[in-house]
């Protein structure tokens, strides 16, 4: 597949003709509402089975290679020519097929109950794991129930392994004191693990994801000890264990979110980890990219020094945010799908821009009440940049936060870039 960015004056018909594909095929893979509704800056995934390219006037090896997401050296080698060789209009070049790495893919989902089933069935073919979010731990070692059975059944039906998720926080409570009570009591830990195993057996979970956040710095060792105990117990029962880690860039990084997350210990103890490399553009903060590639790279540069690469799932979000501007403290951004972001850009005639540092698209518009808005979202370019990061660092795979926000370009490109492990 290829990525085409719409220029001013372009039509979908003209774009389709230039790639030798149909308008309907582009509309289908991008889930466009109408062939007339495109705006400058919109990134389109172009489906193709092209094996050869006929050189057009003005094209070079470099520009053709860019079009097919390969290097000029790869294109030259496939055609037994030097990378600096001249090419001429009418020349026929063979396009080498990409080698797809094998990875694992996890996705969390917090839209539970019956509404989860069609969402999971739709995305499940691209998933290794499905993680309903989440069982909240209690001070006595019990777990607050969730309506996860429809999601689990849907996951199993499409070959995705259900992974139980437990946490200590909610949208209104950070959970640091709750975690402290549990982590410092061997009796409560034993009760908690008994309850986890009981639920896993009852519901068909195959593994556990531990997402304890805002753990007190003083409880760092207690958290590590809990992980050792949990992994030992669950391995004996035949289950795997993963953890979710805050996006740290150094061992000395201060802050409640970071200090108790010991990258070396998690990398040594857990079967794999999920790096929560998202939420820089959080709903209560100022407008910015939610999963900026430059910040994700800083986290990875630190993480791979302490955690084996084959244990790392790179996290990124698959939703968009719309902030009122100028941003006022206390205002919260609206969260919705990337498809809705595109619809808003079209509705308000906004030109979509692309920030080269964060590798993320954004646009601004003025609504009917005269209020300014700034929207940051994900598109084919930003998704591809993250896939390239997974390849560059040779990681275990990807973890999505969270299902329920349509993003068809992501799934098409994921399938084009990787072979996804099914356990």
For the annotated catalytic residues, the residue numbers are 213
Contact 100, 394 (CB under 8 A): no
C-alpha span between 93 and 105 (Å, rounded): 34
C-alpha span between 367 and 152 (Å, rounded): 41
Element spanning 103, H or E: strand 102-109
Around Cβ 329, how many Cβ atoms within 10 Å? Answer: 7
Nearest-10 crossing angle of helices 186-203, 176-183:
100
Q: Where are the alpha helices (DSSP H) in 184-252?
A: 186-203, 220-236
Sign of CA dihedral 77, 80, 83, 87: negative
Distances (CA, A) of 108 to 124, 258, 261: 11, 21, 20
Around Cβ 130, how many Cβ atoms within 10 Å? Answer: 29
Around Cβ 71, how many Cβ atoms within 10 Å? Answer: 15
**322: its two tokens:** 């719309």
C-alpha span between 275 and 268 (Å, rounded): 15
What are the residues whose beta carbons fall under 8 Å from the beta carbon of 74, sequence distance 6 or more? Answer: 65, 96
Helix, strand, or coil (residue 307): coil
C-alpha span between 161 and 209 (Å, rounded): 12
CB-based burial label for 377 (10 Å; 0-12, 13-18, 19+):
buried
C-alpha span between 230 and 364 (Å, rounded): 47
**334: its two tokens:** 């609206």
What are the residues whose beta carbons fall under 8 Å from the beta carbon of 393, sequence distance 6 or more? Answer: 300, 304, 309, 312, 314
- Provide the 8-state DSSP code for 125: G
Position of tokens 């973890």?
399
């Amino acid at each position: 597949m290829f990525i085409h960015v719409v220029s001013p004056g372009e039509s979908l018909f003209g774009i389709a003709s230039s790639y030798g594909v149909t308008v309907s095929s582009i509309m289908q893979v991008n889930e466009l509402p109408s062939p007339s509704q495109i705006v400058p800056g919109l990134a389109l995934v172009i489906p193709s089975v092209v094996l050869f390219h006929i050189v057009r006037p003005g094209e070079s090896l470099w520009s053709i290679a860019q079009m097919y997401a390969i290097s000029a050296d790869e294109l030259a080698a496939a055609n037994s020519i030097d990378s600096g060789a001249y090419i001429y209009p009418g020349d026929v070049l063979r396009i080498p097929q990409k080698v797809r790495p094998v990875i694992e893919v996890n996705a969390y989902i917090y839209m539970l109950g019956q509404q989860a089933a069609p969402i999971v069935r739709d995305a499940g073919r691209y998933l290794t794991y499905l993680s309903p979010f989440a069982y909240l731990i209690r001070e006595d070692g019990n777990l607050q129930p969730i309506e996860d059975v429809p999601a689990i059944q849907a996951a199993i039906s499409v070959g995705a392994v259900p992974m139980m998720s437990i946490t200590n926080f909610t949208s209104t409570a950070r959970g640091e004191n709750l975690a402290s009570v549990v982590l410092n009591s061997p009796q409560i830990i034993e009760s908690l693990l008994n309850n986890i195993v009981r639920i896993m057996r009852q519901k068909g979970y195959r593994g556990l994801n531990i997402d304890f956040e805002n753990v007190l710095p003083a409880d760092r060792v207690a958290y590590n000890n809990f992980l050792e105990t949990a992994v030992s117990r669950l391995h004996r029962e035949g289950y795997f264990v993963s953890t979710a880690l805050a996006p740290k860039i150094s061992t000395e990084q201060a802050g409640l979110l970071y200090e108790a997350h010991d990258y070396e210990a998690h990398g040594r103890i857990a079967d794999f980890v999920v790096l929560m490399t998202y939420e820089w553009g959080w709903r209560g903060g100022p407008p910015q990219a939610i999963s900026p590639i430059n910040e994700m790279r800083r986290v990875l540069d630190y993480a791979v020094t302490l955690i084996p690469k084959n244990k790392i799932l790179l996290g990124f979000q698959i939703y968009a945010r719309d902030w009122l501007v100028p941003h006022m403290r206390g205002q919260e951004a609206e969260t919705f799908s990337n498809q809705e972001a595109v619809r808003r850009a079209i509705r308000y005639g906004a030109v979509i821009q692309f920030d080269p540092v964060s590798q993320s698209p954004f646009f601004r518009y003025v609504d009917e009440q005269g209020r300014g808005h700034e929207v940051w979202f994900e598109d084919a370019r930003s998704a591809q940049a993250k896939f390239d990061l997974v390849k560059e660092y040779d990681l275990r795979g990807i973890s999505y936060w969270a299902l329920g926000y349509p993003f068809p370009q992501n799934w098409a490109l994921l399938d084009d870039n990787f072979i996804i492990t099914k356990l």
